[in-house]
Amino acid sequence: MEYNFKEIEKKWQKRWVEEKTYQVKEDETKQKYYVLNMFPYPSGAGLHVGHPLGYIASDIYARYKRLQGFNVLNPMGYDAYGLPAEQYAIQTGQHPAITTINNIDRYREQLDKIGFCFDWSREIRTCEPEYYHWTQWAFQKMFNSYYCNDEKQARPIEELIQAFEQVGTNGMNVACGEELSFTAEEWKAKSEKEKQEILMNYRIAYLGETMVNWCAQLGTVLANDEVIDGVSERGGFPVVQKKMRQWCLRVSAYSQRLLDGLDTIEWTDSLKETQRNWIGRSEGAEVQFKVKDSDLEFTIFTTRADTMFGVTFMVLAPESELVAQLTTPEQKDEVNAYLERTKKRTERDRITDRSVTGVFSGSYAINPFTGEAVPIWISDYVLAGYGTGAIMAVPAHDSRDYAFAKHFGLEIRPLVEGCDVSEESFDAKEGIVCNSPRPDVTPYCDLTLNGLTIKEA
């Protein structure tokens, strides 16, 4: 017998709508299960081929869990705000409200034809005030809050203001961009403008300067996903790295809570590790390096203070403010050319691409443990957002530093007994320390780590 899919599909899809088969109501007698799809951008006239693939997979799973007796919530909506909708409207010469609604209607028609088990009574459209007034509400909550490290939670900014009026910053243990110190009297003496600028240092939602992917042609900042080979995904316009003042969220204040939360969810170990790397919480020390023949000094952050004796060069992020201060006149043209090239690369490109590039600044830093003068380089494998945007390089025990040292012929000094660094770095955090100090290099140093385990060192 021929399978008349057109008639059968119409019949049962009509029945599902009439009987509200997939509409979900609260039911305390059933175990809950939530299936959430990534909402499509209605920025074109219908689904693209990649949409149904993911929706079909989650649809199968939603049906499977429903047959197991779960009360399954499987909603759908449209990520209908922002650049894609704006660009589609520009391309078609129509108002984005018109094109967006038309595209949503077309998406819905196609999704219904496929027969997904979505609960359409819970549809969300991010371009509607009923939705985005909640994002605005959340922003205001974050703007009017600071993070208390002692209580490990957000608290009203008014509490911080009252504390400043009574004791200044004395005894404060709160998340901030920069450690500030002032008395209650000094706080009260400041103008309203100065007070607001100080509070911005503590707010969870705050104005800050960060590196962004800037597309002048589109007149907007782009996400990494929207940049391909240095040009915008939409339109193919040039994109450069640029420091801009914009709204930021103090997510780093929540790093430990985010890490602790990973232990409470049923994800794979590999996915959890990816999240830990994204959270990026590091414990370590800040070290100050003086610049040779200069009054300048700068701070680096390191998780391996035990490797101080193996520092053979320093590296600055191309965006670091130190670049302009430490580049010598002889190196200026070469450095400027390098900075121009790196402007076209996103942070994601720089993290994933293992090719080695860099340029010598012309300056040297003094290792505070050894008194050695080590060259200061500039390279895009160092990111402005990590630590202070400057690193001490220990090529014998870090793979990126090792590749850089090999490429530019810089010294690689091993600090672990018996380790072989002829072909690659020794990154393991176990072994017995040596060359810390090395008498021929650091004769005056009264600290020795030699003979200790790495952990002890």
The per-residue pLDDT for range 287-326, each reduced to its tens digit, is 999 999 999 999 999 999 999 999 999 999 999 999 999 9
Look at the chain and count its residues.
457
Total structural domains within the chain: 4
Domain CATH code at residue 380: 3.90.740.10
Distance separating alpha carbons of residues 374 and 380, to the nearest angstrom: 19
Residue 230 has pLDDT above 90, yes or no: no
**In a domain? residue 44:** yes
Answer yes or no: do 316 and 404 share one domain: yes
Look-up of token digits 């609960």: 119
* Predicted TM-score of the model (pTM): 0.76
Domain CATH code at residue 36: 3.40.50.620
Answer yes or no: do 63 and 161 share one domain: no
Answer yes or no: do 195 and 235 share one domain: no
Residue 233 has pLDDT above 90, yes or no: no
**In a domain? residue 256:** no
- Mean pLDDT of all residues in 21-47: 90
Residue 442 has pLDDT above 70, yes or no: no
Structural tokens at position 206: 């705050």
For residues 339 and 331, the answer to whether their CB atoms sit within 8 Å is: no
Answer yes or no: do 212 and 293 share one domain: no
Nearest to 37 by CA among 18, 9, 56: 56
Which pLDDT score, from 0 to 100, does residue 443 have? 63
Average model confidence (pLDDT) for the chain? 92
Look-up of token digits 């047959």: 67
Which pLDDT score, from 0 to 100, does residue 90 have? 81
Which pLDDT score, from 0 to 100, does residue 384 have? 83
Angstrom CA distances, 393 to 317, 353, 400, 434, stand at 13, 19, 9, 17
Angle CA 372–391–207, to nearest 5: 140
Please state which of the ranges 249-253, 289-293, 371-375, 444-448 shows the lowest mean pLDDT: 444-448
Structural tokens at position 416: 């672990």
Within 29-79, where are the H helices? 50-67
Look-up of token digits 């919480």: 281
Which pLDDT score, from 0 to 100, does residue 226 have? 85
Answer yes or no: do 45 and 22 share one domain: yes
Which pLDDT score, from 0 to 100, does residue 64 have? 98
Q: Strand runs (DSSP E) across 250-369, as ranges?
A: 285-291, 297-302, 313-316, 359-366
Please state which of the ranges 56-65, 400-409, 430-439, 440-449 shows the lowest mean pLDDT: 440-449
For residues 291 and 363, the answer to whether their CB atoms sit within 8 Å is: yes
**In a domain? residue 445:** no
Structural tokens at position 292: 């040779």
- For residue 152, the enclosing domain spans 141-204
Better pLDDT: 420 or 219: 420
Answer yes or no: do 403 and 316 share one domain: yes
Answer yes or no: do 11 and 40 share one domain: yes
31: burial class by Cβ within 10 Å (0-12, 13-18, 19+)? exposed
Q: What is the pLDDT of residues 71-111, one digit of tens each?
A: 999 999 999 887 777 877 888 899 988 989 998 999 999 99
Mode of pairing for the β-strands spanning 313-316 and 373-378: parallel
